[in-house]
Structures are given as C-alpha cells and as structure tokens.
Amino acid sequence: MKYSPHDYQSFATDFILAHPIAAVLLDMGLGKSVITLTALFDLCLDSFLVRKVLVIAPLRVARDTWPTEIKKWDHLRGLSWSLAVGSEIERKTALHQRAFVYIINRENVQWLIEDSGLPFDYDMVVVDELSSFKSYQAKRFRSLMKVRPGVKRIVGLTGTPSSNGLMDLWAEFRLLDMGQRLGRYITHYRARYFQPDKRNGQVVFSYKPLPGAEEAIYEKISDITISMKAADHLQMPECVFNEVQVVLSERERQTYDTMRSELVVSLGGEEVDAGNAAALGNKLSQMANGAVYGEDKRVFPIHDRKLDALEDLIEAANGKPVLVAYWFQHDRERIAARLRRLHIPFSLLDTSESIARWNRGELPVALIHPASAGHGLNLQAGGSTLVWFGLTWSLELYQQANARLWRQGQTDTVVIHHIIAADTIDERIMSALSKKEKTQSALIDAVKANLEVQPIDPL
C-alpha cells in the first residue's frame, strides 16, 4: 500500500530523526507504528546512522501489529525484520537472523538482557507503550537500564504517559535520558516536585504536585517531547459516552452493604471476607458486577442486573457487532453463559484468528480483557460499539481499550457504554477515571506539537 503521510505524521517522523532521544506522545489512532518505521527506514537504509534496532512492545502488538505494518506499506520494502516471541528456542532463532529490526515482547526484556546469553548490541531501541516502564522497581525497567548507556538512539511511544499521575513520568524519562531532565533518583524528583498527600503518621500513601510543579516538569521534558491529539489532526467520527445504570434489589443491596461495612458476608453457607482495604475494593467491584470469589475461587452469584443490561444493549445494537470489556474471569464466564443461552455467536479476542474474524465482521459479539487487548490492536474494522461490563481503575487501560474502536479508519459513530451499578464502587471508579484524565490531558497539551515549527537538524 502506498504511504501518503499526513502533515503531522511527517512532522513526527522528522522529530524522531532529529532527536536521538525522543518521547512521542501520540494519541491512539494516529499511526505511531508507521511514523516510527518510516524513521527507522531512513536511519537504517538512507542515512546509515543505525545498524540494529530493538522494538519492545506488548505481546499482541509485537506479534500482530508491527509485522503487519512493515508488510503493509510499500515504502518500507527492504527494512528486514525478525519477530522474537514464543518459546526460548523460537526467540533465539529469531534473534540470530540477520535483520535491521528485531521485535520482542516486553515480558522477555529481562530474559534477553540477563538470561539469553546473547550480546545486547542494538544501537537503537523503540519502546512501544513507554508507560509500561513507569515502575522503576520492575525487573524489565532495571534490566533495560543496565544496557541503556550503550544505546545511541531511543524512542518512547505512548498515548497515555501519566495515566496515574505525574509520578509515572520519572521512570519513563529516566529510561529515555538517563536522568538528565527529571533527575537520576526518584527520591530527588519526589522531593523537588511533590508533597505528601494521604498519609497515616509517618507513612505516606500518595503525593500531590507542589504549586507550579506541573509546569516545571513539562518545561524540563519539552525539548525531547512532542504530543498530538487525534481530534486535532484527523476527521474522527463522533464518540458518544453513555452510562447505563442498574439498580440492585433490596436484598442484593443489603449483601453489598454488609461487605462494605463489615468486610465479611455470608454467602451459600460460606463466609466471604476482605482482609484489607485493597481486597475490599476488589470484592466490591466483583459484587457490583454480579458475583464474587470465595475460598478456592468458588464463585458466589449476587445478581444478574448487568447481564440483563448487556442483553438489552446487544439487542438494541440491532445486529451491529458489539465489543464487551470484562475485568474478572467470572464476569467472562457469566457473560459467555448468557450469550450461549441466547444463541448469540461470540468469541474471546485472544488469538490472531479471533481478531481477524472480528475485523471481517464475522462476530456479533466479542469479549476482551483490557489488560491483554488494550494496546495497539486495530479493531475498528469490526464494529463501533463497546460495552464496559466491568470497570478498571487504570486510566491507561481504559483509554487504550476505547481506542481500539475510536481511531483512524473508523467510519461510524463510536458508542461506548458503561454499565454502572448505582450507589456502588462503580461510581467511584468512573469519577477517578475522569480526574486522572484531566491531569494527563494537561501534560499532553503542555508539550503539544506545533506543526509550523520545524524540527532541528539531526545531530
């Protein structure tokens, strides 16, 4: 296929070429893969500045998206690649092949660096979904930092850089510039830009930015960072957000309230308890969805309110395909049982074939888990309706899952339904997602690209 880049795509490619360290915050659907691959082609085959590139991505994105993009575009012919996923033998075989671009899933970064026995001789690294390296304590982060000094060029790609607040940015930019802009130590970053928020005596549970800290952080990273929103550059279809409220019966409400107030409830002759606040939140989310785990993963049904609402939404779609996001395994099992009872064909989107079937329009209903299908998958060809059966606290997973349908190439109005159990933790989750989005939007706006400003010449 012939590549005719939008102005913003050419700008982003030039930015990567001009900056050996680049943080590219591209809204979902703007084509970050082809933008980056175009730059890689230039660096490997035109300017000869790069010999060997490692692309790190979520598993399904590494397996499905990057190879598809390389094969898709005519102008990338000659950019050889090798996909290092699967068993250890398969990964080593792929890594021994001669290629310009090697693609690996992020779960195997530590293996590659510390256990594979292979030299880390990549002079450029591309981190697709930079936000997956936001934890400085994670093994993948520590492993990559060991070899970072030997990497000449690095690109970080993401649409959700600070999904849980500005504290996330430290590890991401520590990986990119080795601490030049936000400091080498998280303690110094925290002391300079934040103050304790929620605490219990000397134990601090969370931090909030000091006055003026947000602007100062944005200024620090602005020279290596660009951001773009899809709505600014694409004729995107309308995206409609809808909340479908369900109301628990008096008995169901009593069960929920008992767990909330006493941290224990008797169900089916067994006590289901929550040992701490985090466990309580998890149990309440399950109960809001309609069931809860007891001991040994035994599932105790609470209500079918959300299943009934989902059935109504599928019927109202009038034959249009519906994508359903679930969170707990028992959600998936109960949804599947209801769909079988209604004789509605469906599939879990967990393989390349199931994704292809969805995009061919062969699935009336498809089920996805945001943690496994949230990044990089192109699902817009298969439908335009998404139903959140169960919610997530993660703004990153929430936005990324929504962007599977609301992205470039979508031709219909996208409708995103949220099934909310009234007066439950669902309402708190929706509120938290809204507040986090405001913080992240401020960051993206602060470093938004101005296409009228030309990138500096390459070093």
Q: How confident is the model at residue 29, as a pLDDT?
A: 63
CA 172 distance to own-chain centroid: 15
Helix/strand/coil for 207: strand
What is the enclosing helix (H) or strand (E) of 292? strand 291-293
User: Quick one: pLDDT at residue 457?
Assistant: 39
Neighbouring residues of 426: CB distance < 8 A, sequence distance ≥ 6: 285, 288, 391, 420
Instruction: Evaluate the CA torsion angle 178, 181, 184, 190 in order and state its sign.
Output: negative
- pLDDT for 230 equals 63
DSSP state for residue 413 in the 8-state scheme? -
- pLDDT at res. 336: 96
* Phi, psi for residue 408 in degrees, rounded to 5: -55, 135
- Looking at the whole model, is its pTM more than 0.85? no
Query: What tokens does 294 get?
Result: 């007891």
pLDDT at res. 373? 61
**What is the CATH number that goes with domain 235-248+305-423?**
3.40.50.300
What does 320-348 look like in DSSP terms, one character per residue? --EEEE--SHHHHHHHHHHHHHTT--EEE
Query: What pLDDT score was predicted for residue 434?
Result: 80
Q: Which residue has the tokens 């599932």?
A: 299
Domain edges within the chain:
7-233, 235-248+305-423, 250-302
What are the angstrom distances between the C-alpha of 281 and each of 284, 292, 392, 429?
5, 12, 11, 10
SS3 304: coil
Instruction: State which CATH number among 3.40.50.2000, 1.10.275.10, 3.40.309.10, 3.40.50.10810 fits the domain covering 7-233.
Output: 3.40.50.10810
Tell me, what's the pLDDT at 447?
58
Q: What pLDDT sits at residue 168? A: 85
Q: What is the pLDDT along the chain (459 residues), one digit of tens a residue?
A: 899 888 889 999 999 999 999 999 886 667 889 999 999 999 999 999 999 999 999 887 888 779 988 998 999 999 999 999 999 999 999 999 999 999 999 999 999 999 999 999 999 999 998 988 989 999 999 999 999 999 999 999 987 777 667 888 999 999 999 999 999 999 999 999 998 887 777 787 778 889 998 889 989 999 999 887 766 666 677 787 888 889 899 999 999 999 888 888 878 767 787 777 778 888 899 999 999 998 878 899 999 999 999 998 888 787 889 999 999 999 999 999 999 999 999 999 888 888 889 889 899 999 999 887 645 577 887 888 899 999 988 888 888 888 888 777 777 778 889 999 999 999 989 988 887 766 666 666 665 665 544 333 333
Burial of 337: CB neighbours in 10 Å, binned 0-12, 13-18, 19+: exposed
Q: What is the pLDDT of residue 161?
A: 72
Domains 7-233 and 235-248+305-423 share a fold: yes
Helix (H) / strand (E) element for 106: namely none
